[in-house]
Chains A and B, each alone.
Chain A
Amino acid sequence: MNYLDVLKSTKNVMTPGSSACQGCGGELITRRVMQIAGENSVYAIPPGCMAGAGVDGWNFSNGCSAPIHITLLDNTASFMSGVSEMYQRRGRTDVNIVAIAGDGATADCGFQSLSGAAERGTKMLYICYDNEGYMNTGYQRSSTTSLGSSTSTTPAGAAINGKEQQQKYLPLIMAMHEVEYCAAASPSNMPDLVRKIQKGLEAGKRGFAYLHVFSPCPTGWKFAPDQSIEVGKKAVASNMFPIWEKENGQFKVTVNRNPISVAEFVKGIGKFSKLTADEIDAIQEMVDRRYQTLLHLAGE
């Protein structure tokens, strides 16, 4: 089915009236995931933007129409391992077990439990909406924050110019857990995202499925809310966020024939406004090397 028909024919499981910021990538991703996974699912959303926006339920007026639990910041994958085990045990294998978590709850303090659940092949779909920092609490840096980003804990200052390290590239680490399905996607390419959510749900019935989704954040990154999809497109076009998938042991990269430069990507994004030419070069070098690694893995 065409992705538009999929989205037209499925119910919005997340209630209207969420308090996410205008132009929030995370909200768009979460709405689409919950629409496609549907109500015959058990969801976990740990503290973070989507919990803060009320998807886990707040004030008796906000939330979703499916069972959901706000897990601890660091135990989403392990808590859902227990839920999944019980659903397998009771023979209710039709129920989707879905976690939706930010990069802090995924790549930082939640990484141990995520790695454990992936290694065990827990039957579930884990989605990380990666807005590259702790946005819900005012944009503190995380391990996926990119080099030179000015955040509230790595402010671009006279002594230190923003974050000093390159970002940790989590999706490839997850792919090396020999999981059932692993993919990187962006809401700026909705047909691709919808297809990967569907594949992830299906693979999550056989084993662990992991989806890493780029989540543009107008509030934290400082760009206009109507530019979110544009930022997503440029992230993919510049290979700052390459999209690919791994299934049946095979990597498949959406090949980017004419990449734009990192300098082009960072234009107009406030968190990058103090980047030096050297820092842009360093990011470009990392991005090129990472993309070559992916092409090599995919045999391109």
Chain B
Amino acid sequence: MAKYTAMTGNTAAYNGAALCRPDLIAAYPITPQSSVVEGLAGLVYGGKLDSNFVQVESEHSAMSVVQGAAAAGGRVFTATSAQGLALMYEPYFRMSTLRIPMVMAIATREMTSPETIWSGQQDAMSVREAGWIQMFCESNQEILDMIIQAYAIAENKKVMLPVNVCYDGFYSSHLIEGIQLPEQAEVDAFLPRHDEYAYLDPAHPAALDPLTPGELMMKYRKKHLEAMQEAKAVIEETDAAFAAHFGRNYGGLIEEYKTEDADVVLLTVGGMSGTGKDAVDAAREKGIKAGLIKIRFIRPFPAERIAKALAGKKAFAVVDRSVSFGWNCGPMYMETKAALADADEKYCSFSAIGGLGGADISFEYLLGCIEKLEAKKDQPGKRDTVWLMD
């Protein structure tokens, strides 16, 4: 039986990782992720987790060590944030393009400059073209559950891609929520022990990743993109299988909240979704037919499900905790628009940017977005980007 307890997002992350029995963990501390490393170190040094634990001198090496271990057939885990993710970009890109499965948690954080250590999603959003599957969590339970699901998705033979499980730094990483902590046996039943192919093994000598001519590389890239699309069905199936084992599910690529009869819809990413749901409830009390779509996976981008969920609606706003420097809006607004044909003819819409560098995305801000949509819902067209600040 699962144990009811309470823990921070980082504690949920390391417990989730430990339950997946990784062969090797390599990590480097960085705010706000550090307690994930500390927690895993505590388990390994305390004899409660049988994993090789490699204390590296940088995130670049963290990703390199897990890459080597995974190439030798291991199930591996690491975690990072912001500057650490930026430093590991070189082996990070190579992990996905080698098509080696693994899971990395990101306690998301704003990118410097201005100098900051606080929350934001710019780090993970900025690497969304590096070939990884990336998903964002709303609750601590979801963090723990999604790390377990992420291994099942990553190691699925139709996918074979690494997965980022992202959650908001501080807001999720450091705040305590109630959690159902599964038993090891329950996780083992859902996620069998890893027996991955060792690419580097004298028993079957081969060169891993020799210099590859463009004609062959084109084929690899095409297959990588196809695997990303295949992953969409695997993500939905994995969520359903998880529900059958644990009694909890999350909707797969997206979660819809009161969208069925909604006129106006907020789209959110990560921890702000809870506030967004409260704002939807409050708006409905005022007679506004509001709903919410939580974009859970940003890679692969759930274009079909978002288009379907928004079909027949009048207005939407996408709330981003990061920016797209080239489009004067948030990145998920840009991508949501790309998923909708003739968006500006059919919908009133705008991008809302908030919560940068740890700033609060308050209930009032999100209710304000809904009211703004409600006021203009019968006048389709793109509106100016709204900055959620005073």
Contact = CB atoms under 8 A, between A and B. Distances in A.
12 contacts: A51-B211, A68-B207, A70-B208, A72-B90, A72-B91, A75-B90, A79-B91, A83-B71, A86-B23, A86-B69, A86-B73, A112-B58
A78 B76 CA distance: 14
A263 B66 CA distance: 48
Given A79-B64, A82-B24, A115-B57, A39 B200 contact: no
A207 interface: no
Contact of B64 (A66, A82, A86): A82
Interface string B48-71: 000010111110110011111111
B214 to A, nearest CB: 14
B24 A86 contact: yes
A88 B52 contact: yes
Given A75-B91, A79-B64, A86-B72, A39 B207 contact: no
Contacts of A63: 207, 210
A223 interface: no
B26 interface: yes
B205 A39 contact: yes
Contacts of B205: 39, 65-68
Contacts of B68: 78-86
B193 to A, nearest CB: 13
A105 to B, nearest CB: 13
B326 interface: no
B202 A82 contact: no
Nearest to A39: B202
Given A67-B205, A81-B68, A86-B69, A120 B54 contact: yes
A116 B68 CA distance: 15
Interface-centre pick from B23, B52, B65, B71 (highest chain A CB count, 10 A):
B65
Interface residues of B, number: 39
B60 A78 contact: yes
Contacts of B237: none
A21 interface: no
A245 interface: no
B60 A83 contact: no
A57 B91 CA distance: 20
Contacts of B206: 67
Contact of B202 (A67, A90, A113, A115): A67
Nearest to A81: B65
A95 B200 CA distance: 11
Nearest to A80: B68
A74 interface: yes
A107 interface: no
B207 A57 contact: yes
B64 A42 contact: no
Nearest to A63: B207
A89 interface: yes
A188 to B, nearest CB: 31
B209 A69 contact: yes
Nearest to A76: B64
A41 interface: yes
Interface string B250-286: 0000000000000000000000000000000000000
A116 B56 contact: yes
Interface string B196-224: 00111110111111110000000000000
A85 B69 contact: yes
A89 B65 contact: no
Interface in A95-150: 95, 112-113, 115-116, 119-120
A139 B74 CA distance: 38
A251 interface: no
Nearest to A41: B202
B317 to A, nearest CB: 41
Nearest to B24: A85
Contact of A72 (B52, B57, B64): B64
B353 to A, nearest CB: 35
B72 A83 contact: yes
A89 B23 contact: yes
B90 A85 contact: no
Contacts of B52: 85-86, 88-89
B210 A70 contact: yes
A59 B71 CA distance: 22
A210 to B, nearest CB: 16
B202 A66 contact: yes
A58 interface: yes
A82 to B, nearest CB: 3
Given A58-B211, A86-B74, A113 B61 contact: yes
Interface in A11-31: none
B68 to A, nearest CB: 3
B202 A95 contact: yes
Contact of A56 (B60, B70, B211): B211
A90 B91 CA distance: 24
B81 to A, nearest CB: 19
Given A66-B202, A72-B94, A85-B52, A113 B211 contact: no
A112 B60 contact: yes
Shortest 10 CB-CB distances between A and B: which pairs? A82-B68, A57-B207, A57-B210, A82-B69, A116-B57, A86-B72, A78-B64, A75-B64, A78-B61, A79-B68
Nearest to B57: A116
A82 B211 contact: no
B74 A89 contact: yes
A295 B27 CA distance: 40
Given A67-B205, A85-B68, A115-B57, 16 more contacts: A40-B202, A42-B202, A63-B210, A66-B205, A67-B204, A68-B207, A71-B64, A72-B64, A72-B90, A78-B56, A78-B61, A78-B68, A79-B65, A82-B54, A82-B64, A82-B71
